[in-house]
Amino acid sequence: MHISNGIIDGPVAAIFGALALAVLTFCVLRGRRDLDDRLAPMAGLVAAFIFAVQMLNFPIFTAGVSGHLLGGVLAALLVGPWVGALCVAVVLIVQALVFGDGGVAMLGLNITNMAIIGTAAGYLLIALLLRVLPRTNAGLAITAFVSALVSVVVASQGFVLEYWLGGTTDLGGNLAGLAGTMAGVHLLIGIGEGLITATTVVTVAKVRPDLVYALRARRPVAPAAPTVPVAGGAR
């Protein structure tokens, strides 16, 4: 859902740019606590994977709005919400500066929608579903699929809010119609993202479950082994 330059006016873009910078700064501070020898290389692999899947764009409006896979839930599951949001943000910055995918002036808006809203909405669902679903590969797959699908649709509605605040281009119809179009298209994209996310995360969990951040963060503490009394008393 890259937004091109000129879709949203300058003041609104500047406000969301400041918001994105503040949130990413907070993510850096929190993410430093999570980084270790396992998480750091995984973050690089996750960013590279997200970069690859985001290169597939699906035009929504001829005025410069497109939809694509986000990768926020995949990142949140594997490296956590803080580092995950940073991974998506780095991908968006490279795409805007190097490949012209999404306007540079709209970078704060794109980061807000995809790196912040998408990742946050997805991780909230992850935290909820992992509490109620069984800790099996099937439970993890359902968690990944549902969270990814919902996160994509929620992130798309971020654009609707921003367009309502400062849209400058006629996208046709009213705000409700715009919201419906964005939700409908991104529901289909979300199904694809959900399948990719579920397949990837379950594959990693089967081989190296310790590399799945969401499982490590919520792994129950094993009960202490019972003490076996020594016959004849202590010596």
Find out whether 42 and 116 touch, Cβ atoms under 8 Å: no
Q: What span, in angstroms and rounded, lies between the C-alpha atoms of 222 and 227?
A: 15
Q: How many CA atoms lie within 13 A of 100 on its CB side?
A: 1
For residues 63-91, give the mean pLDDT.
Answer: 85
Q: What is the pLDDT of residues 15-51, one digit of tens each?
A: 999 999 999 999 999 998 877 777 888 899 999 988 8
Residues belonging to the chain: 235
pLDDT at 10 over 70: yes
- Check pLDDT > 90 for residue 181: no
pLDDT band at 226 (very low <50, low <70, confident <90, very high): very low
Would you list the domain boundaries of the chain?
A: 10-217
pLDDT > 70 fraction of the chain, expressed in percent and rounded: 86
Mean pLDDT of 85-94: 94
Question: How far apart are alpha carbons 124 and 142 in whole angstroms?
Answer: 14
SS3 63: coil
Alpha-carbon distance of 152 to 119, in angstroms, equals 9
Q: What is the pLDDT of residues 110-162, one digit of tens each?
A: 999 999 999 999 999 999 999 999 888 999 999 999 999 999 999 999 999 99
Half-sphere exposure of 227 (CA within 13 A, CB side): 4
| Beta-carbon contacts of residue 60 (< 8 Å; ≥ 6 apart) | 1, 66, 67, 181, 182, 185
Q: Is the pLDDT of residue 1 over 90?
A: no
Whether 79 contacts 56, CB under 8 Å: no
Average per-residue pLDDT for the chain? 85
Q: Which CATH class is domain 10-217?
A: mainly alpha
pLDDT digits (tens, 9 = 90+) for 54-72: 776 666 554 445 556 788 9
CB atoms within 10 A of CB 115: 30
**pLDDT grade for 227, boundaries at 50, 70 and 90:** very low
Residue 235, pLDDT > 50, answer no
Q: 222 vs 74, which has greater pLDDT?
A: 74
**Residue 193 token pair:** 């993202």
Cα gap 26→5, rounded to integer Å: 27
pTM score of the predicted model = 0.84
